[in-house]
Structure 1
Amino acid sequence: MNQAVHHTTLEALGQQLEEHLQLIYPEADHGELAQALIQALGAEGHCVMAKPRLEPWDESDLIVISYGDSIRRQGEAPLHTLKRFFDHYLGQVATGVHILPFFPSSSDDGFAVIDYAQVNPGLGRWQDIQAIAADFRLMADLVINHCSSRSRWFEQFKAGQPPGRDYFISADPEGDYHQVVRPRTSELLKPVQTALGERHVWCTFSHDQVDLNFANPQVLVEMVKIIRLYLNHGVSIFRLDAVAFLWKEPGSNCLNLTQTHEIVRLLRTLVSFYDPRILLITETNIPNRENLAYFGNGNEAHAIYNFSLPPLLLHTLLTGDCNALKLWQMSMPPAQMGTTYLNFIASHDGIGLRPVEGLLDDKQIADIATTMEAFGGRISWRSLGEGGLRPYEINISLYDAMQGTLDGPDPYQQERFLCAHAIMLALEGLPAIYLHSLLATHNDNARVENTGNNRSINRHCWDADALEALLQDAASHHHQVFVRLTQLVQMRQRQPAFHPSATQFVLHLGEELFGLWRQSRNRDQSVFAVANVTREPQPLRLSSLNLIGTDAWRDLLSGEEYSDLHGEIELAPYQVVWLANRAGE
Structure 2
Amino acid sequence: MTTNWTILHEKVMHHLDAIYADVPLDMPIGKLASQLIETIGIKREEDIVMPGPYVNYWDEQDIIMITYGDSVINEGELPLTTLYNFLNKYCKTTINNVHILPFFPFSSDDGFSVIDYSSVNESLGDWAEVSQIAKDYGLMVDLVINHCSARSVWFENFIKGEGAGHDFFFTASPDDDLSMVTRPRVSPLLRETQTANGTRYVWCTFSHDQVDFDFRNPQVLLAFIDIIRLYIEKGSKIFRLDAVAFLWKIVGTTCINLIQTHEVIRLIRTLIEHIDPSIMLITETNIPNRENLTYFGNANEAHAIYNFSLPPLLVNTLVTGSCRYLKSWIMSMPPAQHGTTYFNFIASHDGIGLRPAEGLLDEDEISELVHTMQNFGGKISWRASAHGQQKPYEINITLFDALQGTTKGPDKWQIERFICAHAIMLAMEGIPGIYIHSLLGTSNDYDKVANTGQNRSINRKRWSLPELEALLDSPYSQHHKVLTRVSQLIRIRKTQDAFHPNASQYTLQMGDQIFGFWRQSLDRKQSVFCISNISDEAQSILLSDINLVGTDHWLELISREVIHDVNAFMTLQPYQTIWISNQDSE
Q: Find the counterpart in structure 2 of residue 201 from structure 1.
A: 202
Q: In 2, Cα distance between the equivalents of 1:243 and 1:581?
A: 42
**Residue aligning to 2:109:** 108
How far the C-alpha of 1:385 sits from its partner, in A, is 2.2
1:156 and 1:164 in contact (8 A); partners too: yes
Q: Bigger CA drift: 41-50 or 452-461?
A: 41-50
Query: Is contact 1:350-1:393 (8 Å) kept?
Result: yes
Could you give the per-residue CA deviations for residues 237-265 of structure 1, whole angstroms, max 9, x where no partner exists? Answer: 00000000000011100000000000000
Q: Report the secondary structure of 1:166's partner residue.
A: coil
Aligned equivalent of 2:295: 294
Aligned match of 1:30: 29
Q: Do the aligned residues in 2 keep the contact of 1:440 with 1:482 (CA within 8 Å)?
A: yes
Consecutive unaligned residues in structure 2, runs of 5 or more:
none
SS across alignment from 1:164: coil
**Residue in structure 2 matching 1:15, options 10, 30, 33:** 10
| Structure 2 counterpart of 1:327 | 328
* 1:48 Cα deviation from its structure 2 partner: 6.7
Q: Distance in 2 between matches of 1:493 and 1:531?
A: 19
Contact persistence 1:10–1:44 (CA under 8 A): no
1:150-175: CA deviation from partner (whole Å, max 9, x where unpaired): 00000000001133221001210121
Partner residue of 1:40? 39
Give the structure 1 partner of residue 272 of structure 2: 271
Whole-angstrom distance in 2 between the partners of 1:580 and 1:387:
52
Distance 1:365 1:317, change over 3 A: same
User: How far apart, CA to CA, are the structure 2 residues paired with 1:90 and 1:182?
Assistant: 38
The alignment's TM-score, normalised by the length of structure 2, stands at 0.98
Paired with 1:223 and 1:389, the residues of 2 have a C-alpha distance of: 34
Confirm or deny: 8 A CA contact 2:49 2:276 kept in the other structure: no
| Structure 1 residue 88: Cα displacement | 1.1
CA contact (8 A) 1:279 1:302 kept: yes
What is the distance in 1 between the residues matched to 2:213 and 2:51? 36
Contact 2:4 2:48 in 1 (8 A): no
How far 1:372 moved relative to its partner? Answer: 0.5
Q: Which runs of 5 or more structure 1 residues have no equivalent in the other structure?
A: none
Amino acid at match of 2:20: Y
2-side partners of 1:272 and 1:332: how far apart? 27
Could you list the per-position Cα deviations for residues 58-104 of structure 1 after superposition, in whole angstroms to 9, with x for gaps in the alignment?
11110000000000001110000000000111111111000000000
Partner deviation per Cα, 1:481-533 (whole Å, 9 max, x = no partner): 10011001000111001000111100000000000101111111110000000
Tell me, yes or no, if structure 1 residue 376 matches structure 2 residue 377: yes
CA distance in 2: counterparts of 1:60 and 1:358, whole angstroms: 33
Give the structure 1 partner of residue 356 of structure 2: 355
The one-letter code sitting in structure 2 at the alignment partner of 1:472 is: D
Q: CA deviation at 1:374?
A: 0.6
Q: Which amino acid aligns with 2:210?
A: Q
The separation in 2 between residues aligned to 1:514 and 1:188, in whole angstroms, is: 42
Which residue number corresponds to residue 93 of structure 1?
94
Measure, in 2, the Cα distance between the counterparts of 1:48 and 1:456.
44
CA shift at 1:198, angstroms? 1.2
- Whether the 8 Å contact between 1:60 and 1:492 is mirrored in structure 2 is yes
SS at match of 1:274: coil
Amino acid at match of 2:8: L
Q: Which residue of 1 aligns with 2:159?
A: 158
**Helix, strand or coil for the counterpart of 2:274?**
helix
CA shift digits 1:361-418 (9 cap, x unpaired): 0010011111101101100000112211110000000000010000000000000000
Map residues 192-231 of structure 1 onto 2, 5 A cutoff.
Answer: 192-231=193-232
With structure 1 as the length reference, what TM-score do the two structures score?
A: 0.98
1-side partners of 2:119 and 2:176: how far apart?
A: 37
* 1:392 match: secondary structure: strand
How many residue pairs get matched?
Answer: 580
C-alpha distance in structure 2 between counterparts of 1:519 and 1:39, whole Å: 43
Change beyond 3 A, Cα 1:457–1:577: same
SS of structure 1 residue aligned to 2:166: helix
Contact 2:51-2:273 within 8 A present in 1 as well: no
Q: Deviations 1:310-365 (Å, cap 9, x if unpaired)?
A: 00000100111001101100000000010000000000000000001000000100
Q: Secondary structure of the residue that 2:490 maps to in structure 1?
A: helix
Say which SS state the counterpart of residue 56 (structure 1) adopts.
Answer: coil
Equivalent position amino acid for 1:540 in 2: I
Residue of structure 2 in register with 1:431 after alignment: 432
* 1:189-220 CA distance string (max 9 Å, x none): 00111111211100000000000000111100
Match of 1:514, SS state, is: strand
The yes-or-no answer on 1:448 pairing with 2:443 is: no
Q: Distance in 1 between matches of 2:339 and 2:170?
A: 36
How far apart in 1 are the matches of 2:42 and 2:509? 51
Output the amino acid matched with 1:41: I
The ranges of structure 1 where at least 4 consecutive aligned residues each deviate by more than 6 angstroms after the TM superposition are: 48-53
Q: Hey, what's the Cα distance between the residues in 2 that align with 1:271 and 1:568?
A: 52
Q: 1:81 aligned to 2:76?
A: no
Task: State the match for 2:187 in structure 1.
Answer: 186
Q: Separation in 1 of the partners of 2:162 and 2:576?
A: 62
List per-residue Cα deviations over 1:407-437 (Å, max 9, x = no partner).
0000000000000000001100000100000
CA-to-aligned-CA distance 1:98-118 (integer Å, 9 cap, x gap): 000000000000000000000
User: Does residue 507 in structure 1 map to residue 502 in structure 2?
Assistant: no
Q: Aligned equivalents of 2:369 and 2:560: distance in 1?
A: 35
Who is 2:134 aligned against? 133
Q: Report if the CA contact (8 A) 2:50-2:274 is conserved.
A: no
CA separation in 2, counterparts of 1:146 and 1:138?
Answer: 22
2:584 aligned partner, one-letter code: A
Percent identity for Structure 1 against Structure 2: 56
2:194–2:200 contact (8 Å) kept in structure 1: yes
Contact kept? 1:47, 1:275, Cα under 8 Å: no
Structure 1 residues 116 and 428 mapped into 2: Cα distance closer, same or farther (>3 Å)? Answer: same
Instruction: Judge which range, 249-258 or 38-47, deviates more.
Output: 38-47
